[in-house]
A and B are shown apart, each in its own frame.
Chain A
């Protein structure tokens, strides 16, 4: 892939660092009284999800990473991978557990997910911000005295993930969940 100069750094740009694709989160140029300028850059490693801070010489050359974020529809999963289909080309791709990075706990089928591809390989899967899932297991809520009552109770969703829901929500109900926080948002009318 092409090289760019650190002078062309912008937030959101994807570059290769130590052979891993990284996204630029912050880029500040610093210059001593005289001499070489430097870029103070915060990056996110797209493979590990870890943040790092690196100082670059200005006018240094870096390889651009061939990274694209494309929407695919979730199809199904087997023992090895999760399979997605492109809504227009019907192309199928497979993401492994590492790439799924927990997205699997929100998917039942047909959800539109954002797949991050590096050199055409899925490295990360982002589920939709909100999903609607059925509660398959939850005890009826019992209100205790107001001073010490819990306002939530645990509930297991059809995908197997456990979240906290308000006491008035019952088993077999459908709830809306924020996948970014794993939190209950509201009940959904069937």
Chain B
């Protein structure tokens, strides 16, 4: 818990400065600011994203679906500074309501956008060196698994147990579960400085395109903390629908209510989403990093 009394004048001013600098960055890059609803008829069916319900609507965990509808309608490059809501388990880096900076760039691939994310973050963390490695390289370096994409579930389980000899492993682990646990235990703690991990397994594609058997997805970690998650955006409505339906199936398996799909969003994909890459970046966490704070409550206004 924070020891500072709220609200702190310094934090309020620093937050304002950061937001102003973000806006100026996008003004210079000719990206339009948009403001989309916080409440929607639908939400992401991802079982790991817990959306809050208000009546028959959902507080949005991300402005993604609304922003893609704008893109399909010809908005061009857009960004948003949005309050989003996720019922995450409390932690020094998680808060139910937090601020995401989300932006989309036409004709950018994943690597173009990674460079732009680095340029933005460097405004606030000037001495950062950028490292970039593929998911496969990250696993090779930190777990000695040469090709994580073709490794078996058992191989992953064995590596984890070798690295954590005193812990009893969880039961009922799929290959994807092992990938998550190895990321958590064997890779994230060793990511120092600014590290982009890109080219995720197909099973973790979320809303990213798939190219050469890899999800065009990247994550930015700074000192082991996840700061941004980006994709070369999937533009096929049938593929998106299939992924949503799989997520709903997983929800049911986890005793969660399935989500009625966002047909307006799927219709927009049908209409035609221009080729673009998009990214979501945690503003509170960025402020934490720039001010050297260890707890998200230390950069909150209240």
In the complex, A150 has a CB within 8 A of chain B: no
CB <8 Å contact, A36 and B226: no
Chain B proximity of A181: nearest CB distance (Å): 27
Query: Which interface class (under 10, 10 to 19, 20 to 34, 35 or more) fits B?
Result: 20 to 34
**A38 and B170 in contact, given A32-B180, A55-B181 (Cβ under 8 angstroms):** yes
In the complex, B54 has a CB within 8 A of chain A: no
Most buried by B among A53, A55, A58: A55
Contacts of B1 in A (CB 8 A): none
Interchain CB contact (< 8 A) of B184 among A32, A52, A53, A54: A32
Q: How far is the CA of A54 from the CA of B166 in the complex (A)?
A: 9
Most buried by B among A30, A31, A36, A56: A36
In the complex, B72 has a CB within 8 A of chain A: no
CB <8 Å contact, A38 and B184: yes
CB <8 Å contact, B168 and A54: yes
Chain B proximity of A176: nearest CB distance (Å): 39
In the complex, A187 has a CB within 8 A of chain B: no
Query: Which interface class (under 10, 10 to 19, 20 to 34, 35 or more) fits A?
Result: 20 to 34
Q: How far is the CA of A40 from the CA of B164 in the complex (A)?
A: 12
Taken residue by residue from 204 to 216, chain B's Cβ proximity to chain A (1 for < 8 Å, 0 otherwise) reads as 1010000000000
CB <8 Å contact, A31 and B184: yes
In the complex, A142 has a CB within 8 A of chain B: no
Contacts of B65 in A (CB 8 A): none
Q: How far is the CA of A37 from the CA of B180 in the complex (A)?
A: 8
Contacts of B219 in A (CB 8 A): 33-34
CB <8 Å contact, B170 and A32: no
Chain B proximity of A61: nearest CB distance (Å): 9
Chain B proximity of A23: nearest CB distance (Å): 15
CB <8 Å contact, B177 and A36: yes
- List the B residue with the shortest CB-CB distance to A35: B180
| CB under 8 Å from chain B, chain A span 20-57 | 29-38, 40, 52-57
In the complex, A119 has a CB within 8 A of chain B: no
- List the B residue with the shortest CB-CB distance to A59: B254
- Chain B residues within 8 Å of A, Cβ to Cβ: 48, 88-89, 91, 94, 164, 166-173, 176-177, 179-181, 183-184, 188, 204, 206, 219, 221, 226, 229, 254-255
